[in-house]
Structure 1
Amino acid sequence: MDEDDVRSRANPRGTRPRSKQRPAHDDAELGTVFAVDRGRYGVLVDDVEVTAMRARELGRTSMVVGDRVWVVGDLSGRPDSLARIVRAEERRTVLRRTADDNDPHERVIVANADQLVIVSALAEPGPSFGLIDRCLIAALTERIEPILCLTKSDLAPPDPVIERYKELDVPAVVTRKGGPLDEVRALLRGKESVLVGHSGVGKSTLINALVPTAYRATGVVSAIGKGRHTSSSAVALRLPEGGWVIDTPGIRSFGLAHVTPDDLLWAFPDLEDGAVQCLPGCEHLSAEAGCHLDAWVAEGHSTPARLAAFRQLLVSR
């Protein structure tokens, strides 16, 4: 037998040699992810809504609403067209949470948001201070401006809730059914704002009033006071007066396993220098436990109300 009599085995991977070099994609266009649905991404490129998927070279890197990405391929936006996301810009901000307080895995909800609008009903259901506190922590530790939006003021007064968060200097807006939204629009104009809240607090109703073409589903509150989930995925919607609102699914929990006391201290610069004098590993909960912050406040560097607000958020983690 000679070599001509030997049958060569076909290479199932093909004959092209593998290379670590990747295409430069110099023709890629920059866009913003406005929707995510089962591995497909809605990307706005020059006001054209393009459907895209991740390029293979991105591996398991996933995108979220708000990400700025570079895309190639069919950017016409026609039905059945498909583009590819080939790279992503570095995120300015991220809103993240864990499934619960024992879950070490962080989940990014939204990228590049300027503001976190925490929507809470004053009645039916009443305010969930635990969720509000946790959303405040998530915003403050990620350099996102928090805003408190209190709905259903025709059913209960907003003053007790506003007073609770006065020392945090968090802007608060109050709405009622059928009432004007001028103050809300002023805060959202020109910004990228993400709305978070329990189901049934009126978040989707608010979105529909702000963006008449949104058609976000609304639902009633169940007899046990838990809202029925009415939005199933995050989506970014353009405001008529400029800016974007990102509607998120109604949430039941907001885990903060990734947040430490030192992370939260960043949002309290009047207390941060005092905490440096605490012993390593201090939880900053009380003077009896060795925390120096009480003495720092007594020296006039901050106020007892600010320290109480900080510790309130610490306990809510």
Structure 2
Amino acid sequence: MSRLDYDESDVRIRSGRGSRPRTKTRPEHADAEAAMVVTVDRGRWGCVLAGDPHRRVTAMRARELGRTPIVVGDDVEVVGDLSGRPDTLARIVRRAERRTVLRRTADDTDPTERVVVANADQMMVVVALVDPPPRTGLVDRALIAAYTGGLRPILCLTKTDLAPAAPFAGQFADLDLTVVTAGVDEPIEKVRALLTGHITVLLGHSGVGKSTLVNRLLPEAERAIGGLSGVGKGRHTSTQSVALPLAGGGWVIDTPGIRSFGLAHIRHDDVLVAFSDLAEVVSDCPRGCGHRGPPADPECALDSLTGAPERRIAAARRLLAVLDESMAY
């Protein structure tokens, strides 16, 4: 048979991936239902529908979302099997705009931001007064992250039966920081009142009593409790972030114990924006002012304030000094 003898019956068309026309038009998913992400585990997201902790589904991320990051606290919309029965899987098709974000970097040299929690309106930093010994460094760094992320910070001091709270709490007196204690012999009602009706992320080193605090607030949660290692740092007893519902309304987001809190993504002006009484003043500073005061910034407008604001300025500059240290690495 010569080439001229071929006809259409001799041609075989092999179907392939290109046989279906591609389109950028995404489905509308008009039937999608609102949900909140409460757990994340290896490509699967646990979501509660309409904020009801009893209506829980497991979902995957829809293909049209690509690699859109989704974390605990995110408001999303889901479709598919919403029964919540075992072995069923819904799909997350939309992620709502975040109201707040708590970000960190792995360390001070890592430029990559990681969103720890979304849409929390409070952050409670849990610090033990002994075993492990309290460190102002983590609190200062957490405060910077809270101020720049739009979260209201709270300091919770544990193990008050072993050491007084006043000396450590006094170091933050000029930051308008709410301080509460949660010793084992103290009632938990004050802490509960601060958390009810809010979405609060708990942050702290391992071994400070964070999981114990969660178990006191939510006995049914049964969060694992660990002791201290031989080098004075706690073991990681919570391995993943999880949002837990409070009986009176609101959520507590328990996070794994942290060993570092990088601030590579934050700049000086980001911090001062949180100090509403100082933010307007620094608008008169010369370009490039780091607001540190003399000798580094001799023309800083903050130095024009006298009287009561001076202690507030000193507290703000302490946080800026922490940020300077992180930038030095």
Q: TM-score, normalised by structure 1?
A: 0.96
| Pairwise CA distance, 1:280 | 1.3
Partner of 1:130: 137
Q: Distance in 2 between matches of 1:26 and 1:107?
A: 31
Partner of 2:318: 312
Q: Between the two proteins, what is the percent identity of the paired residues?
A: 57
| Pairwise CA distance, 1:9 | 4.2
Partner of 2:271: 264
Partner of 2:75: 68
Partner of 2:105: 98
CA contact (8 A) 1:287 1:293 kept: no
| Pairwise CA distance, 1:5 | 4.6
Q: Distance in 1 between matches of 2:137 and 2:16?
A: 56
| Pairwise CA distance, 1:2 | 2.2
Partner of 1:13: 17
CA displacement, residues 10-58 of structure 1 (integer Å, 9 cap, x when unaligned): 1320522111111110011000000000000001014311000000000
| Pairwise CA distance, 1:242 | 1.6
Partner of 1:37: 41
3-state SS, counterpart of residue 226 of structure 1: coil
CA displacement, residues 119-144 of structure 1 (integer Å, 9 cap, x when unaligned): 00000011121110010011111211
Q: Distance in 1 between matches of 2:200 and 2:253?
A: 6
Counterpart selection for 1:3 from 1, 7, 29: 7
Q: Distance in 1 between matches of 2:198 and 2:303?
A: 40
CA contact (8 A) 1:75 1:83 kept: yes
Q: Distance in 1 between matches of 2:172 and 2:93?
A: 43
Root-mean-square deviation (CA), in Å?
A: 1.3
CA contact (8 A) 1:239 1:245 kept: yes
CA contact (8 A) 2:289 2:300 kept: no
Superposed counterparts of 1:152-191, under 5 Å:
152-191=159-198
Counterpart selection for 1:114 from 121, 124, 127: 121
Q: TM-score, normalised by structure 2?
A: 0.92
| Pairwise CA distance, 1:219 | 0.4
Superposed counterparts of 1:134-283, under 5 Å:
134-283=141-290
Q: Distance in 2 between matches of 1:255 and 1:10?
A: 54
CA displacement, residues 219-274 of structure 1 (integer Å, 9 cap, x when unaligned): 00122211111000000000122211000000001111111110001011222233
| Pairwise CA distance, 1:291 | 4.1
Q: Structure 1 pair 11/178, CA: closer, same or farther in 2 (3 Å)? A: farther
3-state SS, counterpart of residue 183 of structure 1: helix
